[in-house]
Amino acid sequence: MTKVITIINHKGGTGKTTTTINLGKALQLKNYRVLLIDFDPQANLSQSLGQFQPESSIYASIIENKPLHIISIAENFSLIPAELNLAEAESKLLTHPEGYYRLKSVLDPTRESYDFILIDCPPSLALLTFNACFASTHVLIPVQSQFLATQGLHTIIDLLKTVQTGFINPNLRLLGLFLTMTERTVLSQSIAESLGKEYGKKLLNTVIRKNIALAECPAVGQDIFTYAPHSNGATDYQKLAEEVLTRLELDSK
Ligand SMILES: Nc1ncnc2c1ncn2[C@@H]1O[C@H](COP(=O)(O)OP(=O)(O)O)[C@@H](O)[C@H]1O
Ligand SMILES: [Mg+2]
């Protein structure tokens, strides 16, 4: 069954977009069929894959009922891009009869063509993020290894509970939280320890180290495995993919 993983954190700059691309690519390299969805009006995911002015985007599908605009980036690695107009979708969805589950509706017919669909969310917990959660089977939360970065995580967990409650999407699972941009500092270490205490097994073992190649690759429109296959960034995202696969396997038992 297709796993739809939403990558959320209402803070900006926590590594959501970087994770969507590179976790997605790591899964494609393991021979899974992967679709990425840019669901952030800033369109960083699309731009990071060289898509600056796509002919159409996710907005056209959810608001104008147009067919999904799926761009093939590589074999088994596709993207539905976003554009700035996605910002207008928030208010339009408010009055749409399918407001909260519009993304789910438009994805359902194509869902089974992929093993993994990864959704890159905006830095907010508003209607777009709700739509992503309703369309998903799992949620993954990147946490930046920085002072105060762990503040507000409860808000995300509360949102998950809201979505899981009742008939909305009771099957949504928290796949886990993981640290990004870690450094070999006392601060990084103490953030990891406090997250571990608070979230226990929900904190993944994998950490994504701060790595300059990860920050460079969007500028050339590439994923880390193409741009710098021997970098720490490539090693860490490969580990993340392996841990995600192990957890999904355990989850289904
Ligand atoms: N592990 C990392 N090491 C160094 N830079 C990173 C790392 N992860 C992300 N970045 C950079 O940090 C910035 C924010 O990351 P991004 O993935 O865009 O976050 P978000 O999507 O949550 O706003 C980007 O410039 C990105 O290239
Ligand atoms: Mg982003």
Tens-binned pLDDT, residue by residue, of the chain (253 aa): 999 999 999 999 999 999 999 999 999 999 999 999 999 999 999 999 999 999 999 999 999 999 999 999 999 999 999 999 999 999 999 999 999 999 999 999 999 999 999 999 999 999 999 999 999 999 999 999 988 878 889 999 998 988 888 667 888 999 999 999 999 999 999 999 999 999 999 999 999 999 999 999 999 999 999 999 999 999 999 999 999 999 999 777 6
Domain CATH code at residue 37:
3.40.50.300
Atom number of ligand 1 nearest to Cα 120: 21
Q: How far apart are CA 159 and CA 171, in angstroms?
A: 14
Cα–Cα distances in Å, from 132 out to 6, 40, 149?
A: 6, 11, 22
- Cα(64) to ligand 1 centroid in Å equals 32
- Cα(246) to ligand 1 centroid in Å equals 25
Ligand 1 proximity of 42 Cβ (cutoff 6 Å): no
Ligand 1 proximity of 187 Cβ (cutoff 6 Å): no
Strands 34-38 and 3-7: unpaired
Q: How far apart are CA 123 and CA 153, in angstroms?
A: 13
The answer to whether 39 and 120 have CB atoms below 8 angstroms apart is yes
Protein residues near ligand 2, an ion, with CB under 5 A? 16-17, 44
176 contacts: CB under 8 Å, gap ≥ 6 = 140, 141, 202, 203, 204, 247
| Structural domain that includes position 46 | 3-251
pTM above 0.75, yes or no: yes
In one-letter notation, the amino acid at residue 203 is: L
How many alpha carbons lie under 13 Å from residue 70 in its C-beta half-sphere?
A: 18
Ligand 1 proximity of 214 Cβ (cutoff 6 Å): yes
Q: How many domains does the chain have?
A: 1
- Minimal CA–CA distance to 240: which of 218, 226, 224? 224
